[in-house]
Amino acid sequence: MAASVAALADRDGSAYEAAIEALVADFEGREEFLEDIPVADTVLALQVLAAARGFSVALVSPLLPAR
């Protein structure tokens, strides 16, 4: 997660893309979730911040809402 936040702070779209994809993969490898709800909640929050900075990454995962 730290790499995603750093990329957002630096407004580095390439670094953000790599970091957020790694974070999604991390969530997909988990067996336990907060409140037992399988969702990549941190990714959702970071994507809102990225969109506010003018960039985001189209992500597909069973742990994210369909676009």
Instruction: Quote the pLDDT of residue 56.
Output: 81
Say if 59 falls within a structural domain: no
Say if 62 falls within a structural domain: no
Predicted TM-score (pTM) of the model is 0.92
Q: Are 43 and 20 in contact (CB under 8 A)?
A: yes
Instruction: For the chain, give percent helix, strand, coil, nearest 5.
Output: 60, 0, 40
Instruction: Quote the pLDDT of residue 67.
Output: 72
- Our count of domains for the chain comes to 1
The C-alpha torsion from 22 through 28 and 30 to 32, rounded to 10°, is 130
Residue ranges making up the domain that contains 24 = 2-52
Q: Are 16 and 53 in contact (CB under 8 A)?
A: no
Q: Are 25 and 1 in contact (CB under 8 A)?
A: no
pLDDT digits (tens, 9 = 90+) for 11-67: 999 999 999 999 999 999 999 998 999 999 999 999 999 999 998 899 999 999 987
